[in-house]
Amino acid sequence: MNFRTSRRALVAATLGCSLAFASLAPLATANAAAAADGPSIRVVGGTDANRSTTGWFRQFITVTSGGPSTCGATALTNRWAVTAAHCVATPDGKTKIGKGKSYLLVNPKTRGTGKRFYLDKAIVHPSYKPNSRLQLADVALLKTSKSMGGGKLTLNTSRTSPTLGQAAQVYGFGQTVSGDYGSKPTVLQRGDVEDLAGPTGTVCGSYGSDFQVAKEICAGLPTGGTDACQGDSGGPLVSAVDGRNRLVGIVSSGTGCALAQYPGIYTRVSTYSNWIEAKVFGKFAVTSPCASPCARNKGQSSTITVRNRTTSKGSFDVSTNSKYLRVSPTWGKVKGKKSKTINVKVKTSLKRCVVVKVSSTDTPTKSFKIATNGKRC
CATH number at residue 155: 2.40.10.10
Q: Are residues 264 and 315 in the same domain?
A: no
Q: Are residues 309 and 220 in the same domain?
A: no
* Contacts with 230 (C-beta within 8 Å, 6 or more apart), sequence order: 2, 3, 4, 5, 27, 28, 30, 31, 34, 40, 41, 42, 70, 174, 175, 181, 257
Domain boundary, last residue among 246, 277, 308:
277
Q: Are residues 94 and 198 in the same domain?
A: yes
| 376 within some domain | no
| 343 within some domain | yes
Tell me which residue range forms the domain holding 300: 283-371
Q: Are residues 190 and 229 in the same domain?
A: yes
β partners of residue 191: 170
- 364: domain CATH number? 2.60.40.10
Mean local confidence (pLDDT), 30-50 = 52
Domain boundary, last residue among 248, 277, 306:
277
pLDDT at 55 over 50: no
| 14 within some domain | yes
β partners of residue 253: 5, 265
| 377 within some domain | no
The model's pLDDT over 174-183, given as tens digits with 9 standing for 90+, comes to 888 876 667 7
Q: Are residues 228 and 292 in the same domain?
A: no
Concerning whether 138 is annotated as a catalytic residue, the answer is yes
Place 26 in a pLDDT band, splitting at 50, 70 and 90: very low
Domain boundary, last residue among 262, 277, 292:
277
pLDDT at 34 over 50: no
pLDDT at 9 over 90: no
pLDDT at 23 over 60: no
- Can you give the pLDDT at residue 67? 53
pLDDT at 315 over 80: yes
The model's pLDDT over 87-100, given as tens digits with 9 standing for 90+, comes to 988 777 677 676 66
- Which of the residues 6, 23, 69, 138 is marked catalytic? 138
- Which of the residues 23, 69, 233, 252 is marked catalytic? 233
Q: Are residues 40 and 121 in the same domain?
A: yes
Which of 34-48, 247-261, 323-337 shows the lowest mean pLDDT across its residues? 34-48
Q: Are residues 364 and 265 in the same domain?
A: no
| 181 within some domain | yes
Number of structural domains, the chain? Answer: 2
Q: Are residues 263 and 194 in the same domain?
A: yes
The model's pLDDT over 126-160, given as tens digits with 9 standing for 90+, comes to 999 988 888 899 999 999 999 998 778 899 999 99
Radius of gyration of the chain (CA): 22
Q: Are residues 338 and 261 in the same domain?
A: no
Which of 234-238, 290-294, 361-365, 372-376 shows the lowest mean pLDDT across its residues? 372-376
Q: Are residues 156 and 292 in the same domain?
A: no
